[in-house]
């Protein structure tokens, strides 16, 4: 046995070499014959008129030698090549059901991409055994090799071949043989079994011409059936549309429209219906995709919160929008519009008829910084307890002109300005302003607030408040518990009768106090009420019940407004303690007389006064001391009883008696800065005025003398 083993091995090697040479010869013969049959069939179909165009490079189309896989691939649908590059490739054996990996490259002059490689226009290649592809104007067109029908009753496909051969010519040693009967042949949209080409029928054809003709006939019949099916579908669709149109005509009367107009209207409605169907399908796909994404995220251990799409209805025509603002002023809105825009920062809804604010009203616009809901019909009961809680960036909230009886709860701590003027607020408890540590401005004018219903601790949480308006309420005294940071306080149009010495003990930064239109008398203002204030610069005590200029005014005072009182006198030295000195003194509409102004009444303000209003009083002459006011720019003495203007009452024309020498340069530097003097509506005879009466005024047009009264 050992002696025979070596010759036996040599014989096996020789047999294998002979077998390999034989198979190569068969492959070459079969390939050449198949290509010749394919070329003859293309020429025949071209001459019969099935395709009129031709491709110059047709002769370069060759089938490369490539091995078949272990099993034959299923077939692919019929492929029509518009450019006629390869005539008509109507083969029924190919890659049916296999998803293409090719894609078109738009804008690259018809180039294609296949399996990561770029193919130029008109390029031909073979991606798989027995499959030939063409790049035509950016589109990849593939087809399988057309095989020549055989006469033998049984055929097999040898390994490495594309076409079958008779079973008696194949080697019994080849294990990769597949019978032709095992190959599934499909075409188009899965035709019926009777539409498929029968290999037995092809094998009974007597001549090659008959075989070619039979093959062509079968292909044409399959195509005709496909066209017939498509036409049948179109006719059914058109018939259904006509039936719908007839029903539409019966349902809706002509209304004077022509048939063409009714048909057009019907088609528009049908198109709109189709759009809605497409939209619903897209929504279903979106939900399915989101569900798949949710499942994949669930597998990863993450659980996202699904947010359903919100379809926001359009805003009324009276509304206007910009990049970050929606304005609906006087738009007759009855509720806050359902807006969904995270980029919106300003919402103006002034002058509507909104009555309620729900907890979800601002869910779609969480980044609002400014809301104006003034002049609506919003009540406290109509505001949800959490309506403003979600607005983490809100800075300004305007609720003027509504029907609120208390301040809304749970306001954002980011608020810097709140306006609730002209409502019906009748109480502020100690928790009403809780958490508003960033609030700078609070306006509560025109309500029903008083010291009886405002808690002394109400303003305690306001650590940044500097501007407080409480005008047009019912306060009889200055509210208690004012914030230490307060700079401006407005209490006009109340019923305040007293200013106690403890009112402003903790408000060391206060700068402006407005107490006009109250019931104050000078003896009801405590001596220590504000005299020690170091930052208080402006006090407005207009339209009260004062009979003379109050004493013990703040030493830092710059503006004193006393219009509309019953002041008859300016006490001497009343301004003497002020530093740097009073700059603006308004005493219009009082009862000042010549006896009520002493030579030292303005002491302490000669070097600082810039504006002095003494109009609408009972003065009969220009008061003493005005000529000493070297910084005075604006003087009002109109509507008095003045009869003359002495040369030295407004403009100083000479030095004091103790000045021995007259220094013109020094006098020029001390000239008055008066720019406006009003003396109209007095009893002045302008013809009798001295030419030196207004010598210190640079422009005479700044002196108003007309009209004058007569007896």
**Mean pLDDT, residues 636-654:** 88
Q: Give me 232's structure tokens.
A: 């049948």
**Mean pLDDT, residues 462-479:** 96
pLDDT recorded at residue 211: 57
Task: For residue 386, name the pLDDT band (cuts at 50, 70, 90).
Answer: very high
Task: For residue 171, name the pLDDT band (cuts at 50, 70, 90).
Answer: very low
SS3 of residue 278 by DSSP: helix
For residues 153 and 109, which has the higher predicted lDDT (pLDDT)? 153
User: Does residue 592 register a pLDDT over 90?
Assistant: yes
For residues 66 and 346, which has the higher predicted lDDT (pLDDT)? 346
- Is 502 in contact with 477 (CB distance < 8 Å)? no
Q: Give me 573's structure tokens.
A: 């030295």
- Least confident span in 137-146, 196-205, 229-238: 196-205
- In tens, the pLDDT along 297-318 reads 555 555 555 555 445 567 878 8
- Could you tell me if residue 186 is inside a domain? yes
Task: For residue 168, name the pLDDT band (cuts at 50, 70, 90).
Answer: low
| Average pLDDT of the chain, as a whole number | 76
pLDDT recorded at residue 686: 87
- Is 616 in contact with 680 (CB distance < 8 Å)? no
- Could you tell me if residue 91 is inside a domain? yes
The structure's pTM equals 0.57
pLDDT recorded at residue 434: 93
DSSP code at position 155: E
Round to whole Å and give the CA distance between 601 and 592. 12
- Could you tell me if residue 183 is inside a domain? yes
Residues in the chain: 711
- Could you tell me if residue 297 is inside a domain? no
Round to whole Å and give the CA distance between 36 and 32. 6
**Mean pLDDT, residues 72-79:** 38
Q: Which helix (H) or strand (E) holds 490?
A: strand 488-490
Q: Give me 180's structure tokens.
A: 């032709």
User: Does residue 597 register a pLDDT over 80?
Assistant: yes
Per DSSP bridges, beta strands 703-704 and 676-678 are parallel
- Could you tell me if residue 150 is inside a domain? yes
User: Does residue 37 register a pLDDT over 50?
Assistant: no
- Is 146 in contact with 41 (CB distance < 8 Å)? yes
Range of the structural domain that residue 55 is part of: 22-206
**Mean pLDDT, residues 534-547:** 97
- Least confident span in 221-225, 342-346, 524-528, 698-702: 221-225
- Least confident span in 23-27, 353-357, 513-517, 633-637: 23-27
pLDDT recorded at residue 698: 75
**Mean pLDDT, residues 364-390:** 94
Look-up of token digits 């989101």: 290
Per DSSP bridges, beta strands 559-561 and 538-540 are parallel
Per-range mean pLDDT, top range of 189-193, 309-313, 316-320, 464-468: 464-468
SS3 of residue 539 by DSSP: strand
For residues 654 and 290, which has the higher predicted lDDT (pLDDT)? 290
pLDDT recorded at residue 673: 80
- Could you tell me if residue 617 is inside a domain? no
Rg (CA), the chain: 52
Q: Where are the alpha helices (DSSP H) in 402-521?
A: none
User: Does residue 636 register a pLDDT over 60?
Assistant: yes
Measuring CA to CA, how many Å separate 112 from each of 108, 122, 244, 305, 547?
8, 10, 45, 42, 100
- Is 475 in contact with 496 (CB distance < 8 Å)? yes
User: Does residue 326 register a pLDDT over 60?
Assistant: yes
Alpha carbon dihedral 468, 473, 476, 480, in 10-degree steps, equals -30
- In tens, the pLDDT along 234-273 reads 666 666 656 665 665 555 555 556 666 777 776 777 777 7
Task: For residue 707, name the pLDDT band (cuts at 50, 70, 90).
Answer: very high
- Least confident span in 225-239, 397-411, 507-521: 225-239
**Mean pLDDT, residues 274-300:** 67
Round to whole Å and give the CA distance between 277 and 279. 5
User: Does residue 399 register a pLDDT over 70?
Assistant: yes
- Is 172 in contact with 156 (CB distance < 8 Å)? no
The rounded percent of the chain whose pLDDT value lies above 90 is: 45
Q: Which residues contact 26 (CB under 8 A, 6 or more apart)?
A: 158, 161, 165, 169
- Least confident span in 15-24, 74-83, 280-289, 638-647: 74-83
pLDDT recorded at residue 404: 97
pLDDT recorded at residue 294: 58
- Could you tell me if residue 333 is inside a domain? no
Give the chain's domain count: 1
Task: For residue 593, name the pLDDT band (cuts at 50, 70, 90).
Answer: very high
- Could you tell me if residue 62 is inside a domain? yes
């Amino acid at each position: 046995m050992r002696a025979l083993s070596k010759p036996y091995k040599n014989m096996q090697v020789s047999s294998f070499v002979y077998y390999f040479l034989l198979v190569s010869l068969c492959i070459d013969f079969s390939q050449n014959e198949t290509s010749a049959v394919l070329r003859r069939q293309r020429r025949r179909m071209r001459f019969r008129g099935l395709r009129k165009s031709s491709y110059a490079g047709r002769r370069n189309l060759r089938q490369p030698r490539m091995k078949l896989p272990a099993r034959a691939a299923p077939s692919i649908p019929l492929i029509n090549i518009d450019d006629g590059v390869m005539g008509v490739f109507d083969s029924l054996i190919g890659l049916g059901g296999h998803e293409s990996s090719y894609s078109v490259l738009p804008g690259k002059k018809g180039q294609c991409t296949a399996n990561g490689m770029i193919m130029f226009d008109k390029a031909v290649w073979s991606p798989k055994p027995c499959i030939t592809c063409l790049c035509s104007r950016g589109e990849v067109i593939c087809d399988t090799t057309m095989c020549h029908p055989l006469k033998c009753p049984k055929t097999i496909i040898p390994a490495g071949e594309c076409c079958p051969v008779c079973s008696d010519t194949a080697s019994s040693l080849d294990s990769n043989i597949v019978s032709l009967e095992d190959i599934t042949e499909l075409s188009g949209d899965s035709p019926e079994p009777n539409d498929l080409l029968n290999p037995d029928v092809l094998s009974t054809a007597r001549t090659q011409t008959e075989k070619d003709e039979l093959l062509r006939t079968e292909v044409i019949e399959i195509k005709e059936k496909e066209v017939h099916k498509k036409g049948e579908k179109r006719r059914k669709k058109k018939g259904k549309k006509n039936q719908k149109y007839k029903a539409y005509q019966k349902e809706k009367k002509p209304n004077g429209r022509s048939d063409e107009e009714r048909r057009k209207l019907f088609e528009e409605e049908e198109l709109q219906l189709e759009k809605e169907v497409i939209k619903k399908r897209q929504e279903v796909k979106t939900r399915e995709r989101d569900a798949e994404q949710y499942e994949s995220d669930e597998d990863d251990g993450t659980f996202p919160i699904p947010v359903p799409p919100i379809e926001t209805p359009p805003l009324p025509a009276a509304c206007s929008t910009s990049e970050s603002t929606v304005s609906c002023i006087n738009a007759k809105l009855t509720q806050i519009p359902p807006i969904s825009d995270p980029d919106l920062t300003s919402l103006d809804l002034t002058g509507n008829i909104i009555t309620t604010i729900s907890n979800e009203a601002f869910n779609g616009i969480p980044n609002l910084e400014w809301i104006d809901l003034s002049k609506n019909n919003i009540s406290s009961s109509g505001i949800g307890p959490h309506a403003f809680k979600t607005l983490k960036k809100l800075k300004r909230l305007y609720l003027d002109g509504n029907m609120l009886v208390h301040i809304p709860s749970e306001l954002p701590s980011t608020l810097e300005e709140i306006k609730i003027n002209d409502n019906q607020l009748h109480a502020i408890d100690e928790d009403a302003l809780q958490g508003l540590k960033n609030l700078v401005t609070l306006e509560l004018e025109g309500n029903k607030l008083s010291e009886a219903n405002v808690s002394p601790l109400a303003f305690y949480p306001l650590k940044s408040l500097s501007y407080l308006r409480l005008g047009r309420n019912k306060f009889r005294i200055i509210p208690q518990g004012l914030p230490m940071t307060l700079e401006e306080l407005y209490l006009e149009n109340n019923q305040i009768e007293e200013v106690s010495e403890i009112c402003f003990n903790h408000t060391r930064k206060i700068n402006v106090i407005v107490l006009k239109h109250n019931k104050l008398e000078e003896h009801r203002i405590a001596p220590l009420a504000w005299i020690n204030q170091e930052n208080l610069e402006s006090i407005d005590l207009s339209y009260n019940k004062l009979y003379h200029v109050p004493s013990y005014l703040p030493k830092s005072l710059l503006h004193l407004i006393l219009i509309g009182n019953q002041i008859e006198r300016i006490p001497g030295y009343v301004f003497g303690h002020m530093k740097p000195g009073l700059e603006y003194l308004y005493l219009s509409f009082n009862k000042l007389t010549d006896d009520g102004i002493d030579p030292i009444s303005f002491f302490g303000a000669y070097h600082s006064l810039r504006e002095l209003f003494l109009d609408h009083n009972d003065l009969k002459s220009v008061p003493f001391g005005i000529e000493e006011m070297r910084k005075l720019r604006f003087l009002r003495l109109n509507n008095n009883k003045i009869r003359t203007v002495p040369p030295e009452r407004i403009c100083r024309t000479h030095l004091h008696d103790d000045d021995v020498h007259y220094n013109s340069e020094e006098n020029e530097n001390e000239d008055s800065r008066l720019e406006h003097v009003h003396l109209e509506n007095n009893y002045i005879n302008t013809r009798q005025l001295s030419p030196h009466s207004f010598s210190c005024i640079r422009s005479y047009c700044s002196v108003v003398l007309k009209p004058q009264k007569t007896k």
